[in-house]
Structure 1
């Protein structure tokens, strides 16, 4: 149910079981009248977890989630419905559909996998990043507008350069007012930031929004920091890829990929 007075310490306010209202902190970087996809992605995971919590615990854990962004994400209330597409005791597929103003704007599918003790064979993930506590903050709002970007604490591990940045990202805001969110949902609510920390070209001259986000995890992230070891590549025919090794304070946790549509800003001269 709606909590009444507006909250200014969260990205979303619940309206009812399936509907949420974005706060100004969720406003986007390409258009401040749209939602930034990053907190919306976290909200989708939050809705999926609430769907799963309404039934007996299966012991399955999220191994992959893919988001397809189908339309404009207006800064307006959204409805999220979750259903199980492929039930199973060791593997399960669930889907969330997000609607704004009676239009489907996002479809997300998550594979849930059985949790098994594989400690004896775990390996291959790579080393840890330098901890964020000792690093200075970077004002990402100097590059991008919007309430979401303004809400972040961004701490580069090395000096950012075009197409290549490794940085920690965190926020003091709750994902949903009055509803506890899991570490996974809070972590994934920051992953889509990757496309904004390693820009190859100025966003005032070029557009390069992502139309999807796919995350693969080999373990559950822990802590309040999301580590993004990001490389951005532009091709010669209007496509780009943002590739990220995902970290928490204990080391790598998985990978994220975003496909970009690259084109000049309508009023800009790219030359």
Structure 2
């Protein structure tokens, strides 16, 4: 499958299918999160420190134009490392991220409350992925979970499995961290979708991870939605086939679709 970006020197050139759902010439916001995670991991990641939190601010939309990504170290301690990153286009900076990496160690005693296990069918049990609404090239595979393949126009709790269908950058395999960053933008539609469809555009998301995912399939389950005066707050639980691994929180703003 074709990648979303190709490298030309320091610039990342988006492919036509890198567009998002809000306008025909608008870059998909989830790809910005992927680029930010990729840069932080490549320039600041180590085998001794594990990404535990990534916050992505999507404060400016971008057309399908060449982009550059830069990073900056913030803190480098024995048990913690913090790094920032930003994505810049011809008109300036369009998104930024902050990442906290922690050193794993021995697990403390005691048992904390956790939710019941996620008892849902696996992608293999569900069969073929759901077709993309409106047609066009699918940029990831998705299985809606629930009655009627999880029809999103009801008021039920939304649950999905998803798997990336193509590379982020040409000739580069997706790391587990980048895979999570790409998937995390889906927390917004999963948490904020209503009986009238999706009417909120994502402004940010924060991923909190207890571990890295195993395999290439990720699950998201809506954990809550609150909204007032056109501003929505929501969160999702993040899973792989082995169980829960983290949470995603999102803030979104009421928005009208242009395509």
TM (norm. structure 2) is 0.86
Residues in 1 aligned to 2:126 and 2:108: alpha-carbon distance in whole angstroms: 32
Of 131, 135, 148, the residue aligned with 2:122 is: 131
Question: Cα distance, 1:49 vs. partner?
Answer: 1.2
Q: Deviations over 1:193-239 (max 9, x none)?
A: 23234611435xx7310110111001111111110102563523111
Summarize the Cα distance change of 1:13–1:120 in structure 2 as closer, same or farther, 3 Å threshold. Answer: farther
Of 71, 82, 90, the residue aligned with 2:71 is: 82
Aligned twin of 2:180: 187
Is the Cα–Cα contact under 8 Å of residues 23 and 257 in structure 2 kept in the other structure? no
Aligned twin of 2:34: 42
Residues in 1 aligned to 2:7 and 2:113: alpha-carbon distance in whole angstroms: 41
Aligned twin of 1:62: 51
Question: Cα distance, 1:179 vs. partner?
Answer: 2.1
Secondary structure at 2:205 match in 1: strand
Residues in 1 aligned to 2:97 and 2:140: alpha-carbon distance in whole angstroms: 24
Residues in 2 aligned to 1:266 and 1:10: alpha-carbon distance in whole angstroms: 25
Secondary structure at 2:133 match in 1: helix
Is the Cα–Cα contact under 8 Å of residues 145 and 159 in structure 2 kept in the other structure? yes
Question: Cα distance, 1:69 vs. partner?
Answer: 1.3
TM (norm. structure 1) is 0.82
Q: Does 1:52 align with 2:41?
A: no
Cα RMSD (Å) = 2.5
Aligned twin of 1:9: 2
Is the Cα–Cα contact under 8 Å of residues 44 and 83 in structure 2 kept in the other structure? no
Aligned residues: 249
Kindly report which structure 2 residues correspond to 1:224-263, keeping only aligned pairs within 5 A, or say none: 224-231=216-223, 233-262=225-254
Aligned twin of 1:4: none
Question: Cα distance, 1:187 vs. partner?
Answer: 2.9
Runs of 4+ in 1 over 3 A off after TM superposition: 119-126, 160-163
Question: Cα distance, 1:32 vs. partner?
Answer: 2.5
Is the Cα–Cα contact under 8 Å of residues 175 and 186 in structure 1 kept in the other structure? no
